[in-house]
Structure 1
Amino acid sequence: MTIIQAPALAANAGATTGSEFRRGIAACMPVLLGIVPYGLVLGAQAARKSLSGLEVPLMTGLNFAGGSEFAAIQLWSSPPHILLIVFVTLLVNSRHLLMGAALAPYLRHLSKRKAFASLFFMCDESWAMSLADSKERAATGTSLPAFSLPYYMGASLAVYVAWVAFTTAGALLGPVMGDIDALGFDMAFPAVFLVLMRGMWTTAAAARPWLVSLVVAAVTHLVLPGAWFIAAGAASGLAAAYYLAGDA
């Protein structure tokens, strides 16, 4: 039994767009509890780097990728090293190539317009939940498409709104809250990913890229300052996934 499971499926002829959308929102509620603290942490860290209450929601709303945003804030300086930040952002977000490829077989019934528009809102949480939901729906053998776009959008938009709202709140309240890292809120970010990873666990062999990424990131963090450990972990994990794909 995994930690992340889709709730009772609404995969029947009576399921409406509205009910599927609400099912997606309801399914991601536990995840939102984790998003609140690390959204506040990112916003507060951005405020300490002199980003305003307007610049933070622009960053989190247009990029919508927490890992790369944490990396960008760690690398932020005055003046900022734009090319370095762009490179690290592309590297950290490159995992979305594999995530999109895993979801692609379930999107074939959608038009390109709908598929591409919806993928803007894809994040680790909504991707993991929708992939698990699609696999469960496919296993039931129903005639309905395995991928429920309203369910996906319900989960994705709930995460998106929460992320933008609480990073903005963190930026506005950061000076008042002080050093919220000292309260342990920054642990919420890796905690959510550990839960997602456990939910996607299949076999130990398939988890080898995670182990490679973890070891490389930990070693890089010990020997190099700044946020290079995020980029190193992402690159090594992608490389390991590519070379070990045939053995998993």
Structure 2
Amino acid sequence: MLSNASDRWHTELWAGQRDILPLALGVATYGLAFGVLAAQADFGVFATAVMGTTVFAGSAQIMAVQQLVAGAGVGAAVVAGAALNLRLLLVTASLRQELRGRPAWQILLGLHLATDENWALLHATRVAGRPAGYWFLVGGGLVLLAVWVVTTATAAAFAQLIPDPDALGLGFAFTAAFVAILRNLWRGLGDVGPWGVSIATTAGLIWLTSLPPAWALVVAGIAGAATAAVTGGGGHADD
């Protein structure tokens, strides 16, 4: 009996690692762009790797470091990144079934490794009629974490060797990567409301008030997350 249970979680862990590989290529792309951005913010290779391991939230890390590069304070950078990551409260709340009854270390591990990519893959796999649960999510998350840390640290090391990264057009890589992130976050028509509120709030605060853009993004992120919570916005990846 114990052997069968062990075989099941090993099989599920491997399936999650295998199935996430195509999505991991996209993560590597904006991981490279983030590494260049981190170097511009004077993050060393070690600091970039530590941030990637402990925070492990690509879009939030990009937003926070972008604010530092733009001259915003540390507080504004942290709050901006946290506000952008509020959507993960909805993602992790949807994992109650997978986390129920597990020891604390497994719950914390699952929450830390939950991303847009492996969460969406979990649901897509189930829709396709194949089993996928907690260890499937963790397997995918471990691969994404490894790819993210390696690519960001490598890019940060490379960028430190270049006197002027912008001269090579690497700045556009960040813009392209952020567009890719937005596309990756889109889950269906249910996102129209929350995204629309966030965009309108950002534009209104920047054009009509003297609020700094960094704080406008924070307020807009909170407004968008609140809209999603109230309206139930945010469709699954297969919508």
**TM-score normalised according to structure 1 size:** 0.75
1:40 corresponds to which residue? 32
Partner residue, 1:238: 225
Contact 2:99 2:110 in 1 (8 A): no
Higher relative contact order (CA 8 A, sep 6+): 1
How many Å apart are 1:80 and its aligned residue? 7.2
> Which range moves more in the overlay, 155-164 or 216-225?
216-225
State the match for 1:105 in structure 2.
Answer: 97
For residues 170 and 216 of structure 2, the distance between their equivalents in structure 1, rounded to whole angstroms, comes to: 19
**Partner residue, 1:209:** 194
Identity of aligned residues (%): 26
- Cα distance in 2 for residues equivalent to 1:242 and 1:42: 29
CA deviation profile, 1:111-160 (whole Å, cap 9, x unmatched)? 444222221111221222223334555xx7xxxxx652221111101100
Residues 205, 216 of structure 2: 8 Å contact kept: yes
Paired position in structure 2 for 1:169: 154
Any idea what the Cα deviations from partners look like across 1:70-111, whole Å, max 9, x if unmatched? Answer: 122122269972322232232222222111112223432534
* CA spacing shift, 1:233–1:80, aligned 2, 3 Å: closer
Between 1:220-229 and 1:62-71, the stretch displaced more is 220-229
Unaligned runs of 5+ in 2: none
Q: Do the aligned residues in 2 keep the contact of 1:71 with 1:227 (CA within 8 Å)? A: no
Aligned residue in 2 for 1:189:
178
Taking the aligned partners of 2:221 and 2:76, their CA distance within structure 1 comes to 15
For these two proteins, the number of residue pairs brought into alignment is 225
Mean Cα displacement is larger for which, 216-225 or 235-244? 216-225
TM-score, scaled relative to structure 2 = 0.77
State the partner residue of 2:87. 95
- Cα gap change, 1:99 to 1:219, in 2 (>3 Å): same
SS of 2:95's partner is helix
1:130 pairs, out of 122, 128, 150, with 122
Partner amino acid, structure 2, of 1:75: Q
**What is aligned with 1:5?**
none
Q: Which residue of 1 aligns with 2:77?
A: 85
More helix by share: 2
RMSD in angstroms over aligned alpha carbons?
Answer: 3.3
Are the structure 2 counterparts of residues 43 and 222 from structure 1 closer, same or farther at C-alpha, using a change threshold of 3 Å? farther
